[in-house]
């Protein structure tokens, strides 16, 4: 039997959660079903306001026309490479900082390390659009200081592969600090006594990292990387939009940009809806897999 008090408690919890849940579900559930519905129609606002039922033709188009498959592959590649880079660089820098802290409790180096840590928050805090517009200038074929240092006129943003490298660089620059903060906090949580014990046993620095630090960090690395994999796959938009606009051609047309463009630039609502449905299925599938592993 549920007591009256408990019933009241249930009601209270329900009413507290209601406004938030309602808000999110109103603006999520409708879009989801609307996407699903529209994806079975030929719905092109540039042609007419009428919707014509065409069954699975939109999905068929996605399968047969290469631009969609290409976009999915590019997005997955971008996500994997950028998160790998960010994890490795973030790990290296946070381990490097930890050893400075352990060796020099005072002095210039410690002070430098502290200052650098504060400064590292800047790329992470700068709005994506601003970061991307700066990188556009940095990658400009003529005005680029990078080219000036390299002494070559490299067409960063107009060469397909280099454009991909450019968005990788900009994204990695912006997001690596996230990993550094994440990992630094985790390293601090590993008890120092473990390292001391290893040192007494005559372990080298590398052995300390290899056998104590990395195994201890592994769960954290998986959690951080999983979060970023989901976020990058679903949210990569402003950096690419401003830096390359998805170009040259379709070279950097990642999924979010392709969907937005198909719907709001070319007004092919039906086709864009089918893309949206597929992308939600992909991200929910991988998201759930990663979230489960992360736990």
Of 26-45, which residues contact other proteins (CB under 8 A)?
A: 27-28, 30-32, 34-35, 38
Residue among 88, 112, 150, 197 that touches other proteins (CB under 8 A): 112
Sites for other proteins among residues 176-215 (CB under 8 A): 177-178, 181-183, 185-186, 189
Alpha helices in the chain (DSSP H): 4-38, 57-64, 66-103, 108-119, 121-125, 128-138, 145-150, 160-188, 192-200, 205-208, 214-235, 238-243, 255-264, 269-294
Sites for other proteins among residues 140-179 (CB under 8 A): 142-143, 145, 148, 173, 177-178
Both tokens of residue 141? 């074929």
Is 68 a binding residue for other proteins by CB under 8 A? The answer is: no
Distance CA 47, CA 45 (A): 5
- State the number of binding residues for other proteins (CB under 8 A): 98
Residue among 3, 4, 19, 106 that touches other proteins (CB under 8 A): 19
Nearest-approach distance from CB 34 to other proteins, in angstroms? 4
Is 96 a binding residue for other proteins by CB under 8 A? The answer is: yes
Both tokens of residue 137? 């200038």
Is 83 a binding residue for other proteins by CB under 8 A? The answer is: no
Both tokens of residue 206? 């590398």
Residue among 214, 249, 264, 266 that touches other proteins (CB under 8 A): 264
Q: Residue 39 or 197: which CB sits closer to other proteins?
A: 39
Is 246 a binding residue for other proteins by CB under 8 A? The answer is: no
Q: Are 182 and 87 in contact (CB under 8 A)?
A: no
Interacting span for other proteins (CB under 8 A) from 123-131, 155-163, 190-198, 207-215: 123-131
Compute, in degrees rounded to 10, the torsion defined by CA atoms 243, 247, 250, 253: 10
Both tokens of residue 238? 């402003």
Distance CA 249, CA 165 (A): 15
Residue among 63, 109, 214, 218 that touches other proteins (CB under 8 A): 109
Is 52 a binding residue for other proteins by CB under 8 A? The answer is: no
Is 88 a binding residue for other proteins by CB under 8 A? The answer is: no
Both tokens of residue 138? 């940095």
């Amino acid at each position: 039997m549920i007591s009256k008090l408990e019933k009241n408690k249930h009601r209270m919890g329900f009413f507290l959660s209601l406004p938030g849940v309602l808000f999110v579900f109103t603006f999520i559930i409708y879009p989801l079903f609307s996407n699903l519905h529209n994806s079975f129609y030929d719905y092109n606002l540039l042609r007419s306001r009428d919707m014509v039922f065409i069954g699975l033709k939109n999905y068929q188009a996605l399968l047969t026309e290469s631009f969609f498959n290409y976009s999915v592959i590019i997005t997955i590649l971008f996500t994997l490479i950028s998160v790998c880079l960010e994890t490795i660089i973030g790990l290296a820098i946070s381990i490097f900082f930890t050893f400075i802290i352990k060796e020099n409790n005072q002095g210039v180096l410690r002070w430098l390390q502290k200052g650098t840590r504060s400064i590292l928050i800047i790329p992470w805090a700068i709005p994506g659009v601003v970061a991307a517009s700066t990188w556009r200038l940095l990658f400009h074929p003529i005005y680029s200081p990078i080219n000036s240092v390299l002494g070559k006129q490299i067409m960063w943003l107009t060469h397909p592969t280099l454009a991909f490298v450019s968005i990788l660089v900009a994204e990695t620059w912006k997001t690596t600090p996230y990993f550094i903060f994440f990992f630094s906090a985790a390293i601090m949580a590993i008890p120092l006594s473990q390292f001391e014990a290893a040192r007494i046993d005559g372990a080298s620095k590398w052995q300390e990292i290899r056998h104590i630090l990395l195994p201890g960090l592994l769960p954290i690395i998986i959690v951080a990387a999983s979060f970023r994999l989901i976020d990058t796959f679903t949210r990569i938009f402003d950096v690419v939009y401003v830096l390359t606009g998805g170009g040259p051609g379709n070279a950097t047309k990642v999924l979010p940009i392709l969907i937005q463009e198909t719907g709001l630039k070319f007004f092919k609502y039906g086709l864009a809806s089918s893309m949206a449905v597929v992308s939600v299925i992909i991200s929910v599938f991988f998201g759930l897999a990663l979230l489960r592993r992360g736990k």
